[in-house]
Structure 1
Amino acid sequence: MTRARILPILLLLCGSAAATQLVLEGSPGAAVAILLVFVPLAGVNSPLVFPRSISALEAHDRSAVDGRPVVFWRPGCTYCLRLRIRLGRRARQAHWVDIWRDPEGAAAVRTANAGNETVPTVVIAGQPHTNPDPTWLREQLSRSN
């Protein structure tokens, strides 16, 4: 099991355990309420919310051809989630690299951020931008099409 899936699975297990206990105690309404909290939390911390991740090398090669930005991210990062949500459908236009799955991606982020794995880090035309404004990135995505 990868690090990216541990948090969502733990959230689902904890929510399920708490809901089961509440059902056994005769409180099905409270059980549903608990599930309505834990399931969305697991969802937003899941790597499934993000476009399919590719390797840093593949993202670099694709970006060189099509000029689209490369977004380095990791599951559980609230800033990455904010960026993903604010980009909406345009998020699929960028090349996404999960630094927890790709050691080269993590190394690229550390190089761009003085040794820190600060995400999201967006690389456009070889220039890294740490935690960029989603509106600015949306404009960059519009230009790359």
Structure 2
Amino acid sequence: MTELTLYTTSWCPFCHRLKAGLERNGVQWTEIDIEEQPEAAEFVGSVNNGNHVVPTVLYADGTTATNPSVGEVMSALGLV
């Protein structure tokens, strides 16, 4: 499993912003589009009080973050 999994949609501007920032910082991730994978949408809803909020980030330790900034993700990964 990669250290970072991003649950996204293709049309989400916040997802695009997060991915661009992570790419600029050389961070790798696995991306899962919740519109293409219904089970992924269910997972996102389960960690967001029933809401399918993207981006939702899943860290390797099992914790999640909803619509985090690039800085928050970098900090959680110990990269800043």
Q: What TM-score do the two structures reach when normalised by structure 1?
A: 0.48
How many residues are paired up? 77
1:129 lines up with 2:73 in the alignment: no
Mapped contact 1:94–1:141 kept (Cα < 8 A): no
1:105 aligned partner: 40
User: 1:136 is matched by which residue type in structure 2?
Assistant: E
Change (3 A) 1:116 1:80: same
Within the candidate set 56, 73, 78, 2:13 is matched to 78
Tell me how far apart the structure 1 counterparts of residues 44 and 78 of structure 2 sit (CA, whole Å): 20
Structure of larger gyration radius = 1
Indicate the percent of aligned positions where both proteins have the same amino acid: 31
Q: What TM-score do the two structures reach when normalised by structure 2?
A: 0.83
Gaps of 5+ in 2: none
Gaps of 5+ in 1: 1-61
Q: Which has the higher contact order (CA 8 A, sep 6+)?
A: 2
CA RMSD of aligned residues (A): 1.8
User: 2:47 is matched by which residue type in structure 1?
Assistant: A
